[in-house]
């Protein structure tokens, strides 16, 4: 089971996903993609780490997400948090559209290979205004393409709106 959970910033995606993953017996493999590029992000990461309990096995995978998914231990559940940061990391590293598409292909294969419940968190960034600069427009477009690909292979897709889950599939 792959469950893609999307929504805007601060919509409650991570809390929703963690509550569901905690209902699964065994370890929770938490695959984190954020990089602490500034003090605010470092504080956010530290806060999220402190919120997770002893059942959580955290793997940092800011760039090599497909590889990290293939190397997880057995049992339990998987939480990937989040595709937004993973795509941003690749865009900021200068990955071409073709290179990123290859990474998304590998990600989809790694997700399909999971034999346990897997939740994937991402942001929906395509509902707002058109960004005023090329980098932001490219990021929005790349994340939109990635989200579509992962949604296509997902068993379930949920949209979180103001903390309320809405079933898309």
Catalytic sites, residue numbers: 48
Q: Where are the alpha helices (DSSP H) in the chain?
A: 13-21, 39-51, 65-70, 83-92, 97-112, 134-153
Going by the DSSP 8-state scheme, the letter that residue 163 receives in this structure is T
Say if strands 164-167 and 156-161 run parallel, antiparallel, or are unpaired: antiparallel
Going by the DSSP 8-state scheme, the letter that residue 116 receives in this structure is S
Measured between alpha carbons, how far is 121 from 83 in angstroms, rounded to an integer? 6
């Amino acid at each position: 089971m792959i469950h893609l959970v999307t929504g805007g910033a601060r919509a409650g995606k991570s809390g929703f996903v963690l509550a569901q993953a905690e209902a699964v017996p065994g370890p929770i493999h938490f695959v984190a993609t954020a990089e602490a590029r500034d003090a605010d992000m470092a504080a956010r990461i530290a806060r999220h780490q402190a919120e997770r309990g002893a059942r959580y096995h955290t793997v940092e995978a800011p760039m090599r997400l497909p590889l990290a998914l293939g190397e997880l231990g057995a049992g339990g559940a998987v939480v990937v948090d989040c595709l937004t940061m993973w795509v941003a990391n690749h865009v900021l590293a200068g990955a071409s559209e073709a290179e990123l598409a290859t990474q998304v292909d590998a990600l989809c294969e790694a997700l399909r290979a999971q034999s346990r419940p897997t939740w994937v968190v991402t942001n929906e960034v395509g509902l707002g205004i058109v960004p005023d600069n090329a980098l932001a427009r490219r990021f929005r477009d790349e994340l939109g393409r990635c989200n579509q690909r992962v949604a296509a292979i997902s068993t379930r897709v949920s949209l979180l709106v103001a903390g309320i889950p809405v079933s898309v599939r």
